Structure 1
Amino acid sequence: MDNERQILEDADRRALAYVDGIPDRRVFPSPEAVQALAAFNGPLPEQGRPAAEVLRQLDELGSPATTASNGGRYFGFVIGATLPAAAAAERLALAWDQCASSFDNSPTADRIEKVAARWVLESLGLPAGSAVGFGTSATACTLASLSAARRALLARKGWDFDGDGLIGAPEVRVVVSANVHITVKKALRILGFGMNRLLVAPTDEFGRIDPASLPPLDDMTVLCLQAGEVNTGEFDPFSELIPRARAAGAWVHVDGAFGLWVRASSHAHLASGVEQADSWTCDSHKWLNTPYDGAMAICRDAEALSIAMNSDAAYASASRDAQKNLTLEFSRRARGIPVWAALASLGRDGLASMIDRHMRQAEHLAGRLRAAGYQVLNRVVLNQVLVRADSDEETIAIRSAAQASGEVWFGPTLWQGRPAFRLSVSSWRTTDADIEHLATLLAGLKGTAC
């Protein structure tokens, strides 16, 4: 058996070398580095190799082909770099190797995640006492939230969902935005809400639901709203829509994967009224800058989520607010620990300062690009800059050239049926100099990429 301490020390050394090299790393790997990954494509070995050799192959072949999403010049998919405290907490938690399902599995994880849950609610200005389940992603957490919503609406009609399922049950209607995020649609599809049966609310030029065109709501409706439209960063008009939904008896769910964090900044007014909803999803691996695979399902009615997600067994019962009873996972790692570490290291002021800085940087970037002749398609109210060149062909060519440069990375999108690209500012490592570098690169590509 390999020496455990030696292999862990080697892993730490290689990880630190990787982090030290982030400023000089291509943001997207070279074709040669990607091609070298073919070396992993071998048969399952008949006999195991030494752990040191396995780690060496991972580092020497794997590291060069990674994207530098942990750096300051990655502007794709609203991926935040991992804060040092969150990264360190993740490493320590990995050493603990806890099954963080309940207090009996891990008293440390149980207590820390409860504190993290309270801090999240305080940071986002959401109702105290709400349940917070730390799950894998916005998709998984939306699945949990919408499961709780459907079950609760049916229970109000006297229907035993757990016992009788959906056959013969009253129909639960779902209203979504015309700009609904794909993760919400995926969760609805998995839950059996047919895509053809969704009621689609038209949106305005900024991607927000138009209250004048909202479909009728009743006490068997789930209304799905957005905090931070994925392209424009805009917010549905919560203060107008949610009271209407509550008056009708509908359940309101808010997809706030990254936009909900604006509640922790000096721009909290952008999401005014969102606290009146019934459930929310939010990613920590986006704007809170924790390691990936960390998100939250938040439910005002804590019992509604805990009953819907309950996984108690004769051999493994736990409290209502045990994480195994708030999330899809029975066996799980403590995703709330890096959330706690991030919030502990930032504090209220640090979290607000980071979000405010990113919003200021996005606004500055938009100004630089307008001056360079680009069309900025959104109002830049958050951290998203939606951009188009003079033609579809030029837009695609510029994006491809920027990606190929290795100096920055951002991805494509479609806006109102035409190609555009989306620049997301969300990494704690992104400096004003990084923003200037991106703006200068794109200004240089304007008119030359076709």
Structure 2
Amino acid sequence: MGTRELLERTAETAIGWLESLDGRPVGASAGVEDLRARLGGPVPAGPLDPLAVVDELARAVEPGLVAIPSGRYFGFVIGGGLPAAVAADWLTSAWDQCPGLYACGPAAAVVEEVAGAWLRDLLGLPERASFAFVPGCQTAHLTCLAAARHHVLRARGWDVEERGLAGAPLIRVVLGAKRHVSVDRALRFLGIGRASLVVVPDDGAGAVRVDRLREAVEKDSAPTIVCAQAGEINTGGFDDLDDIADVAERTGAWLHVDGAFGLWAAASPALRHLVRGAGRADSWALDTHKWLNVPYDSGLALCAHPDAHRAAMSVTADYLVQGGPGDPREPMDWTPAFSRRARGFAVYAALRSLGRDGVAELVERSCAHARRFADGVTEIPGCRVLNDVVLNQVLFRFGDDRTTDLVLRTVVESGEAWISGTTFDGRRAIRLSVCNWQTSENDIARTLRAFREAVGGVRRRDGQKNAGPRRRRVS
């Protein structure tokens, strides 16, 4: 079978998967041992027809697939895939461009240049800000914080790219107690360990206490990076970015914003107030595979100081063909990767298909669904919603930890929805995240029904258990 027939069959398989989402269980049905048995075995001895390979792969993995593109997948703030973005991503694989250098993929480099500028404008960030297409927010933090490290040490007369960290002035990083762990991990990669972190308590709703942050920053004159958050992972709460920017500007600290999903509020006129002051930061990290709904993986790092960004990331070698007529933007100057996927095509397609108004509507509709779910779940006896639903996150629990976990497991095992558990303030909770373009009112209604049925089933089982064995009547 030729390439055309293979790709047509593959497209049919992919379309079948997407069309099955509304009726199939959201969670996987196969366990790890089953999947190992389906996929494992010795290295094949000889070649096999590509069509057979793809057909067998699709059959083998199908029970282990999670219906992440479904409108009833509410776990981990994971978006779906807009049709235009999925189609562009298929073409990205077929085109097989490498956007490390302009010379390797001129169109891939230019589409990143255009899409990055569109995103910068959409989110209300400074026109001077540089940007980099990266796998996700983890690498975006790494990129931004590398630029921050360069900047704060350069201000003290230390060239970290030339001299490394040995003997350098110690960097302090001031951040909130409810920060995302990917920030710590990025700092660790950059040689900034836990001993350099100054952790500031939160206000109980996930936002950092600005008064305590101000005290921490002003307490020491060491080179300082402040990490703020737009959208706490459990509550969706926002740090007061405007007040924190005041602190950073007054003290000369670098302000980095973790905006993985929350920074998308800037695209909505109705929600933009949540990120007031974000444009005053020095760097921003976000995911486009979340609320923009492009396929995994796709993130963006932006920096208000292009010189620091470029100094931290750029590389040269005799064999690299860089520059050329028209002064093209060299993607390698801004990212930590040489070889990588041309992520700009899918982002470009998503933005073209939605437009400014469509992105705003998608964000606002997701938040409305979250509020609708919160209103509905509070009507279930024993349920308590733990957060003000300011964005797309609903945090709730049922009585004690055991009941909460049991209700969650029952809903997930029903296949009606996939939702993640969490721990908040030392107790178990359930976190529902809405950011999929396909989520509908019906999806919210089905998920609420699944929770009502799960709670009823747990109560019946507990009632039977507590009732104990019935005594036989003696006549």
What does residue 244 of structure 2 align with? Answer: 241
1:99 partner SS: coil
1:216-266 per-position Cα deviation (integer Å, ceiling 9, x unaligned): 244610000100000000110111111111110000000110000010012
- Which runs of structure 2 are paired with 1:42-121 in the superposition (5 Å)? 42-121=41-120
- The amino acid of 1:349's aligned partner reads D
The answer on 1:258 being equivalent to 2:261 is yes
Q: Distance in 2 between matches of 1:19 and 1:414?
A: 33
- Offset of 1:29 from its aligned partner? 1.8
1:141 partner SS: helix
Of 302-311 and 284-293, more deviation after overlay is shown by: 302-311
What does residue 377 of structure 1 align with? Answer: 386
- Offset of 1:20 from its aligned partner? 1.2
- Offset of 1:32 from its aligned partner? 6.8
Contact 1:279–1:299 under 8 Å retained in 2 = yes
Q: Distance in 2 between matches of 1:242 and 1:13?
A: 51
The answer on 1:301 being equivalent to 2:305 is yes
What does residue 235 of structure 2 align with? Answer: 232
Contact 2:150–2:311 under 8 Å retained in 1 = no
Contact 1:256–1:282 under 8 Å retained in 2 = yes
Which of 277, 291, 295 lines up with 1:291 in the alignment?
295
Contact 1:306–1:321 under 8 Å retained in 2 = no
1:329-370 per-position Cα deviation (integer Å, ceiling 9, x unaligned): 111121121111111100011110111001111011101111
- Which runs of structure 2 are paired with 1:122-201 in the superposition (5 Å)? 122-201=121-200
What does residue 391 of structure 1 align with? Answer: 400
- The amino acid of 1:318's aligned partner reads Q
The answer on 1:435 being equivalent to 2:438 is no
Contact 2:412–2:418 under 8 Å retained in 1 = yes
- Which runs of structure 2 are paired with 1:249-398 in the superposition (5 Å)? 249-265=252-268, 266-318=270-322, 321-373=329-381, 374-398=383-407
Contact 2:79–2:291 under 8 Å retained in 1 = yes
Q: Distance in 1 between matches of 2:204 and 2:335?
A: 36
What does residue 9 of structure 1 align with? Answer: 8
Q: Distance in 1 between matches of 2:436 and 2:107?
A: 29
Q: Distance in 2 between matches of 1:34 and 1:237?
A: 47
- Offset of 1:102 from its aligned partner? 2.4
1:233 partner SS: coil
2:390 partner SS: coil
1:371 partner SS: coil
- The amino acid of 1:115's aligned partner reads V
Q: What RMSD, in angstroms, separates the aligned Cα atoms of the two structures? A: 1.5
Percent pairwise identity = 40
1:56 partner SS: helix
- Offset of 1:172 from its aligned partner? 1.0
> TM-score when scaled to structure 2?
0.92
- Offset of 1:37 from its aligned partner? 4.6
1:316 partner SS: coil
Stretches of 4+ aligned residues off by more than 6 angstroms: none
Contact 1:136–1:295 under 8 Å retained in 2 = yes
- Offset of 1:34 from its aligned partner? 7.1
- The amino acid of 2:395's aligned partner reads L
Unaligned runs of 5+ residues in structure 2 are: 463-475
Of 217-226 and 163-172, more deviation after overlay is shown by: 217-226
Contact 1:33–1:61 under 8 Å retained in 2 = no
The structure with the larger Rg is 2
- The amino acid of 1:366's aligned partner reads A
Q: Distance in 2 between matches of 1:211 and 1:64?
A: 48
What does residue 25 of structure 1 align with? Answer: 24
Contact 2:131–2:334 under 8 Å retained in 1 = yes
After superposition, the Cα gap between the structure-2 partners of 1:97 and 1:268, relative to the gap in structure 1 and judged at 3 Å, is same
Q: Distance in 2 between matches of 1:328 and 1:448?
A: 51
What does residue 471 of structure 2 align with? Answer: none
Q: Distance in 1 between matches of 2:250 and 2:294?
A: 37
Q: Distance in 2 between matches of 1:436 and 1:157?
A: 57
Contact 2:171–2:196 under 8 Å retained in 1 = no
1:159-193 per-position Cα deviation (integer Å, ceiling 9, x unaligned): 12111111111111111110110111111112121
Of 72-81 and 299-308, more deviation after overlay is shown by: 299-308
Contact 1:134–1:294 under 8 Å retained in 2 = yes
Contact 1:72–1:430 under 8 Å retained in 2 = yes
- Offset of 1:31 from its aligned partner? 3.7
> TM-score when scaled to structure 1?
0.97
What does residue 413 of structure 2 align with? Answer: 404
Contact 1:324–1:331 under 8 Å retained in 2 = no
Contact 1:102–1:322 under 8 Å retained in 2 = yes
- The amino acid of 1:146's aligned partner reads L
Q: Distance in 2 between matches of 1:283 and 1:62?
A: 27
Contact 2:172–2:222 under 8 Å retained in 1 = no
- Offset of 1:274 from its aligned partner? 0.8
Q: Distance in 1 between matches of 2:47 and 2:60?
A: 19
- How many residues matched? 449
- Offset of 1:448 from its aligned partner? 3.1
